[in-house]
Amino acid sequence: MIVLEAFTPADFNQLIEWVDNERLMKEWSGAMFSFPLTEAGLSWYIEDSNNLADPSVFIYKAVDSKTGVTVGHISLGGISQRDRAGRITRVLVGKTTERRRGICQAMVTALLRIGFEDLALHRISLGVYDFNQAAVNCYLKAGFVQEGLLRDVVRHDEEYWSLIEMGILETEWHALQSHKNAAA
């Protein structure tokens, strides 16, 4: 089981260690950070995060509840109280040896629970590069629906990347939870 805990300065070095090349940096953060990732860069990133009184962004480390080991990073930002909407960003399963073990789906599910149950959001969206099929499958399994494709939206070296836009609505989330509870 994955538990989401606030991402703090104590977690900076772990994330810096994981994001060890420019391509991964761009996949994880888009243009938000420059490679290499630094503590100074991460300091402003968390400045206004995890404030329940004025939620605009929630930044988490994902912890394996059995071992207590941090296994990933995920955030929910772009929160609009008026529209009751948010956007999942910067999803990363830390060690490559840990990928394809359901960690991503558990992280996303935990974040959806926070978004829909604690923050009472109506819609949560995300964008994923189309070549990242493992992530696309993770999001589909978590209940997201593909809504569109932004073609050649990012350039990395001499290659263009297209972005799949995905979303899930609160009614879809609650239906999934009811189905899971009925099956249990």
- The pLDDT mean for the chain works out to 92
- The model's pLDDT over 157-182, given as tens digits with 9 standing for 90+, comes to 999 999 999 999 999 999 999 988 88
Domains of the chain: 2-183 (3.40.630.30)
- The model's pLDDT over 68-124, given as tens digits with 9 standing for 90+, comes to 999 999 999 999 999 999 999 999 999 765 566 789 999 999 999 999 999 999 999
Q: Which residue has the tokens 């956007």?
A: 87
Distance, in Å, from the CA atom of 128 to the CA atom of 74, rounded to the nearest integer, reads: 13
What single letter denotes the amino acid at residue 178?
A: S
Question: Could you tell me the two tokens for 12?
Answer: 């900076």
pLDDT at 97: 58
Q: What percent of the chain has pLDDT over 90?
A: 80
pLDDT at 62: 96
pLDDT at 69: 92
- The candidate with the shortest Cα–Cα distance to 172, out of 115, 94, 127, is 115
**What is the value of pTM for the model shown?**
0.93
Distance, in Å, from the CA atom of 79 to the CA atom of 65, rounded to the nearest integer, reads: 27
Residue 116 in contact with residue 99, Cβ under 8 Å?
A: no
Helix axes 103-113, 133-141, angle to 10 degrees: 50
Distance, in Å, from the CA atom of 162 to the CA atom of 127, rounded to the nearest integer, reads: 10
Helices (H), 60-169: 103-113, 133-141
Looking at the predicted structure, is the pLDDT value of residue 184 above 90?
A: no
- The candidate with the shortest Cα–Cα distance to 161, out of 173, 149, 169, is 149
Distance, in Å, from the CA atom of 132 to the CA atom of 129, rounded to the nearest integer, reads: 6
Q: Which residue has the tokens 């959001």?
A: 121
